[in-house]
């Protein structure tokens, strides 16, 4: 595992951020943890085996942060919609968060019919899974970070800001784009 120092980007109003820990990075996805947030980036596809590994990270974080964790999944525009087996794995993944996840989001950016259709598919999978915690689909990391900042339990003062959360997600996205592992 590697860590990325997310404090190198200085933004007015942001708190000094702890490091993002890269838990797993492959060409199709990346998993990272920042404070009590699990951040996942899906680049090309969402594979059921990767979702099961993400579930293992979620379960570990559940033990480490009993007061609650946040979950942010970022599906990049080139990511293909999940197949039936992967949708079932996602339902199981979300169910594993019951009683531990304080807030969960999926970010699928872009505009147009296919982007809106994908966001509707994600919302439908979530509705069927009935995760038992707030879960929302967003068009941007910025929107999701703002939402998480309002719902995420603080593990250490100061409470994370939307800027801190966005910076952590952006750091994982950037590391994946640079092909770092």
Domain at 2-6+17-177: CATH code: 3.30.750.24
Q: Determine the pLDDT at residue 164.
A: 94
Give the per-residue pLDDT at 12: 39
Pair 3, 22: CB distance under 8 Å: yes
What pLDDT was estimated at residue 156? 80
pLDDT, position 2: 56
The pLDDT tens digits along the chain (181 residues) read 555 544 444 333 444 445 899 999 999 999 999 999 999 999 988 899 999 999 999 999 999 999 999 999 999 888 888 888 998 899 899 999 999 999 999 998 766 665 566 656 666 665 555 668 999 889 899 999 999 999 999 888 888 899 999 999 999 999 998 875 4
CA distance 169 to 181: 16
- Rounded Cα gap, residues 153 and 36, in angstroms: 8
Q: pTM of the predicted model, to two decimals?
A: 0.83
Which of helix, strand or coil describes residue 121? Answer: helix
Instruction: Look up residue 68 and give its two tokens.
Output: 């609650």
- Residue pair 30/24 in contact (Cβ under 8 Å)? The answer is yes
Token output for 113? 């019919």
């Amino acid at each position: 595992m590697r860590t990325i120092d997310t404090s190198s980007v200085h933004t007015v109003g942001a708190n000094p951020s702890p490091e993002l820990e890269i838990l797993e990075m492959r060409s199709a996805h990346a998993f990272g943890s920042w404070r009590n947030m699990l951040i996942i980036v899906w680049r090309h596809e969402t594979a059921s085996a990767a979702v099961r590994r993400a579930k293992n990270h979620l379960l570990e974080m559940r033990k480490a942060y009993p007061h609650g964790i946040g979950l942010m999944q970022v599906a990049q525009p080139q990511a293909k919609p999940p197949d039936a087996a992967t949708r079932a794995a996602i339902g199981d993944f979300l169910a594993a968060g019951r009683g531990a996840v304080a807030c969960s989001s999926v970010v699928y950016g872009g505009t147009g019919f296919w982007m809106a259709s994908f966001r509707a598919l994600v919302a439908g999978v979530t509705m069927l899974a009935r995760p038992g915690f707030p879960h929302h689909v967003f068009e941007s990391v910025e929107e999701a970070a703002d939402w998480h900042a309002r719902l995420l339990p603080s593990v250490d003062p100061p409470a994370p800001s939307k800027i801190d959360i966005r910076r952590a997600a952006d750091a994982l996205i950037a590391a994946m784009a640079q092909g770092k592992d």
